[in-house]
């Protein structure tokens, strides 16, 4: 009976005998952030084929949101992110960024009966469920470069693990409350982080690429619009883009096109300034 479905064949391939032929979509897979086998890629693939997602993750950084925000905003199904104030790691501005995503329900778990340290990504399709559970928080390095262990697997709607995951999500929902601007203001006032998010965020800033730097799609569009502003005779332009999408490199590319004698670049953190110097060079 199990071999009547792609999910069953994938399970048999992954857990019983790898010589069994099956659709790779349903193979259990260990995601370790090696070459193309990254959490970012896996999450984007699952979002592209799913009708619903539920993320339960303790730590979220703005830079990680920058990596996946477009995919999250474009998602048309039901969407829930449950996160926490564990160790007061999460930054208020990150919560405000989450609040801008009108299509995603964001809930805060208070860490009832112990610290909230979950790291689970659950996706629901018409005829199956898939999940990625392991060591990756929703931070840039944890999704791209850290040596993580995350198991991706699939199950049928009547599978026991499907019910276990749904029960866990429902329990967390019942224990959590919706994210609001008023709550963020209070959190910002009382927050006392016991680890340094600023240090982690500085480490997660995008590394400068090697060789000739070419713009990504966001940067190319912005450069074209800046060029239109300049050629129309205007002297000022404003570009707004999410954290992690490459604004510093964009500034360097715009400067390269203009080739000015002098340039003023203003930031609010010394680590970013040092990083920007190397990227401009």
Beta strands 105-109 and 78-84, pairing class: parallel
Closest CA to 119 of 143, 100, 97: 143
Q: Is residue 89 part of a domain?
A: yes
Determine how many CB atoms are found less than 10 A away from the CB of residue 23: 13
pLDDT tens digits, one per residue of 49-78: 999 999 999 999 988 998 898 899 899 999
pLDDT at 83 over 50: yes
Whether residues 75 and 170 fall in one domain: yes
Supply 53's token pair.
């997602």
Count up the domains in the chain and report the number.
2
Confidence of residue 277 (pLDDT cuts 50, 70, 90): confident
Q: Does one domain contain both 237 and 123? A: no
Last residue of a domain, one of 194, 209, 229: 194
Give the best-scoring range by mean pLDDT among 48-62, 184-198, 234-248, 251-265. 48-62
Confidence of residue 1 (pLDDT cuts 50, 70, 90): very low
Here the CATH number for the domain that contains residue 135 is 3.30.870.10
**Whether the Cβ atoms of residue 13 and residue 21 lie closer than 8 Å to each other:** yes
* Environment class of 131 (CB within 10 Å of its CB; exposed 0-12, middle 13-18, buried 19+): buried
- Give 120's strand partners: 56, 133
**Beta-carbon contacts of residue 169 (< 8 Å; ≥ 6 apart):** 54, 56, 80, 82, 122
Domain assignment of residue 2, yes or no: no
pLDDT at 273 over 60: yes
pLDDT of residue 6: 67
**Contact yes or no for 208/278 (Cβ under 8 A):** yes
| Structural domain span for residue 245 | 217-280
pTM across the whole model: 0.70
The CB density around residue 224, as the number of other CB atoms within 10 Å, is 10
DSSP 196-259: -HHHHHHHHSPPPPSSS----HHHHHHHHHHHHHHHTT---------TTS-HHHHHHHHHHHH-
Same structural domain for residues 179 and 221? Answer: no
- On whether both 186 and 250 belong to a single domain, the answer is no
Q: Domain check: are 62 and 127 in the same one?
A: yes
């Amino acid at each position: 009976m199990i071999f009547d479905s792609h999910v069953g064949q994938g399970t048999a391939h992954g857990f019983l005998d790898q010589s069994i032929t099956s659709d790779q979509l349903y193979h259990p897979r260990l995601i370790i952030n090696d070459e193309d086998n990254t959490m970012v890629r896996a999450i984007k693939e699952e979002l592209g084929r799913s009708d619903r997602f539920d993320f339960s993750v303790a730590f979220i950084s703005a830079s990680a949101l920058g990596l996946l925000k477009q995919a999250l905003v474009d998602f048309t199904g039901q969407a829930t992110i449950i996160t926490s104030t564990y160790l007061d790691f999460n930054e208020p501005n990150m919560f405000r960024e989450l609040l801008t995503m009108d299509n995603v329900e964001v809930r805060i778990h208070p860490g009832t009966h112990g610290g909230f340290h979950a790291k689970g990504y659950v996706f629901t399709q018409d005829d199956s469920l898939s999940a990625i559970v392991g060591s990756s928080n929703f931070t840039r390095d944890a999704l791209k470069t850290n040596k993580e262990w995350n198991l991706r697997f699939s199950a049928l709607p009547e599978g026991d693990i499907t019910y276990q995951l749904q029960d866990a999500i429902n329990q967390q929902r019942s224990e959590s409350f919706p994210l609001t601007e008023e709550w963020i203001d209070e959190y910002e006032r009382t927050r006392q982080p016991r680890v340094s998010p600023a240090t982690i965020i500085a480490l997660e800033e995008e590394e400068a690429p090697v060789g000739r730097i070419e713009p990504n799609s966001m940067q190319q569009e912005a450069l074209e619009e800046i060029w239109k502003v300049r050629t129309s005779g205007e002297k000022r332009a404003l570009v707004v883009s999410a954290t992690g999408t490459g604004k510093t490199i964009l500034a360097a590319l715009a400067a390269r096109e203009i080739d000015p004698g002098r340039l003023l670049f203003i930031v609010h953190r010394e680590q970013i300034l040092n990083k920007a110097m190397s990227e401009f060079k």
